[in-house]
Structure 1
C-alpha cells in the first residue's frame, strides 16, 4: 500500500536535533511577540507621518503593500530565534530547495487558474455594482510587486506553521493530530481577528484552520514547503488583486472596488452563526479551500 506521506520523514529530519517541548513553547511565545512588534518597528522606519498613516490604514497601494512587506521583520526575528533555540537555519525549514521552488510555482499557477475560472462562473462580478475600476496598466504593473510582498508574508507564515511547527510536533508524535491539526488550529485562531464580529471571526478561524490543514497535507506529501506556499500565495493574491471593498484595509491593489460598507454590518455575535449570510460565507470558503487543495494535488499528481 502506497504511503502518501513517505516524504514527510525527510522533511522532519532537520528538527530532530532539539525536540524539547520547552523550546517549542518559548518559540511560539517569542514569535507572537515579534509578530506584534513588527508593524511598530516597520512604521518607525518610514520617513513621514503621511506614509505611516497610509501603512496603518492599508487602503492605498503603498499601505497595502507595506503591510505585507512588514512581515519581513517578523521573518528576520523568527530566523534569529530559530538559530538561538534550535541551532538551525532557514534552509532546514524548506525541504529540497530545487523541488520546493518548482512546486511553489506549479501550485501557484495551477491554483490561480482554478480561482480565476471560478470567478468567471455565475454569479459573476456585476459591473453595475462596482464603484471603482482601477487603471488597468497601473494594476498590471503592481502585480509583480504585490506577488513579491505576498511571498514575504505567506513565506513567513508557512515557514513558521508548516515548516517549524509541523516539523517540531512531528518529532514529538507521529499522529496527524500533533503535526497537522494542532499547528493548523493555532494558525486558524489568529484569523479570528479578521472578522468584524464573533460570528464572522469564527468563520474565518475555521476556514483558516482548514487552509492550514490543506497546506500541511501538501507539505507532508511533497516533503517540502513549496506547495503550501504556492497554494497560500494564490489564495491571498486572488483576495487582494481582483475585487475588494473601497475604504477597507488591504484594498489598495484590487482591480475592482465595491462601494464602502460599514463594517458594523458584519459585527454580529455568536448568535448570528445560523443566519443565512454567515452559513453562505462559510460554505463558499470551505468549497474554495477544497478546490484549491484538489487543484494543487492534481497539478503535482500527488
Structure 2
C-alpha cells in the first residue's frame, strides 16, 4: 500500500498521529528513545541489585531466566518501566499524554474487549481440535493448584508486559514516525524490524533464531495494521495478550521464561526438527487470530 491508498484504510490512525504531528522532529523521537532507555536501564539495574543481594549467583541466573513464578512475575511487571519511560518521553519531548498514545481510553477498552472475546472463542475452538500435543506429550511444570493460585497475578503481569511493548512499538515509535513520514513502509516497517531484532536470540534459539525473529517481525506488522485500522492500541494489546497468555501461562518453552507455565513444550527453542514445524503452524494461527481481530473491529 502507498500513502494515498492507506488514507482510507487507516483513517482512524490520524487520531493517534495528530498529537505527534505537532512536534514531529526526528531528534525528538531519538531523544525520547534515549530517555526511555535510561529510565528502563536504571530501574532494571535497581531490581537486579536487589535480586542479587537476596541469593546466590545460581539463584540470580534462575531469576533472570524466569524459572520460578516469583521471578516471572517480577520480570513481567518490570515492563511497567517501559510504559513509565514512554510516558516521560512523550510528555517532555512531544507534550503528549499517555492517553494520546493509547487512544481514548473508553474506545480502546471497548475495542480491546471485542477483540479479546473473539480470540477467547478462537482459543476454545482450537482447544478441542486435534492434535492434542506438539509431537510428544506435554511436560507438567506447575501443579494445577499453584497455577490457579497465581493466575490472577500472572494475567496482570502479562497484561503489563504486552501493553508496554505495544505502547512503545505501535504507540510512541509508530506514531512518531507516522507524524514525520507518510509511507507506511517506514512507520509500520521500522518498528516491526526493531521488534524482530528484540526477539533475535541465537544464544537460546540456535539455528531457529532467524525464523523466530521473522515470526516476530510479521507479528509486529500485523499489530501495526490493527492499530492503524482501530485508531487505538486496544486491539493490538488484546491480541498480544492472548498470544502471550498461551505462550507463557499455558504452554511455554523449557528453560526460557517458563516459571508461570502449566505445561512445557517437549523440546527446546533450538530444536530444528520439531520446533520449525510448529513455527509454521503458529504462523498460520497468528494470521487467523489477526483476521478474527479484524472481524471483531467491524462490530
TM-score, with structure 2 as normaliser:
0.86
How many residues in Structure 1 have an aligned counterpart in Structure 2? Answer: 291
1:297 & 1:250 partners in 2: Cα distance?
A: 30
Is the Cα contact below 8 Å between 2:21 and 2:180 reproduced in 1? no
2:122 to 89, 100, 114: 114
- Cα distance, 1:227 vs structure 2: 0.5
1:239/1:83 CA distance change after superposition, 3 Å: same
Report SS of the residue matched to 2:67: coil
1:241 & 1:152 partners in 2: Cα distance?
A: 14
Report matched runs for 1:96-111 at 5 Å. Answer: 96-111=104-119
1:137/1:91 CA distance change after superposition, 3 Å: same
1:140-180: per-residue Cα shift (whole Å, max 9, x none)?
A: 23222111111211111111111111111111122111221
Mean alpha-carbon deviation: is it higher for 151-160 or for 103-112?
A: 103-112
Report the aligned-residue RMSD.
Answer: 2.8
Q: Name 2:263's counterpart in structure 1.
A: 256
Mean alpha-carbon deviation: is it higher for 170-179 or for 188-197?
A: 188-197
Instruction: Point out where structure 1 has 5 or more consecutive residues left out of the alignment.
Output: 267-274
1:241-294: per-residue Cα shift (whole Å, max 9, x none)?
A: 112345x132112112356x566x54xxxxxxxx76565244223212101101
1:102-125: per-residue Cα shift (whole Å, max 9, x none)?
A: 111222232233234324322212
1:48 to 39, 54, 59: 54
Report SS of the residue matched to 1:10: helix
1:181/1:87 CA distance change after superposition, 3 Å: same
Q: Name 2:29's counterpart in structure 1.
A: 24
Indicate yes or no: 2:18 matched with 1:13: yes
Is the Cα contact below 8 Å between 2:36 and 2:86 reproduced in 1? yes
- Cα distance, 1:15 vs structure 2: 0.7
Report SS of the residue matched to 2:29: helix
2:213 & 2:34 partners in 1: Cα distance?
A: 20
Report matched runs for 1:175-194 at 5 Å. Answer: 175-193=183-201
1:155/1:133 CA distance change after superposition, 3 Å: closer
Mean alpha-carbon deviation: is it higher for 135-144 or for 234-243?
A: 135-144
Instruction: Point out where structure 2 has 5 or more consecutive residues left out of the alignment.
Output: none
Is the Cα contact below 8 Å between 2:86 and 2:172 reproduced in 1? no
1:72 & 1:262 partners in 2: Cα distance?
A: 29
Is the Cα contact below 8 Å between 1:112 and 1:238 reproduced in 2? no
Is the Cα contact below 8 Å between 1:42 and 1:73 reproduced in 2? no
1:211 & 1:194 partners in 2: Cα distance?
A: 19
TM-score, with structure 1 as normaliser:
0.85
1:294 to 275, 285, 291: 291
Report matched runs for 1:1-302 at 5 Å. Answer: 3-46=8-51, 48-49=54-55, 54-125=62-133, 129-132=137-140, 134-193=142-201, 196-197=204-205, 199-246=207-254, 248-258=255-265, 265-266=270-271, 277=274, 279-301=276-298
- Cα distance, 1:38 vs structure 2: 4.3
Is the Cα contact below 8 Å between 1:169 and 1:179 reproduced in 2? yes
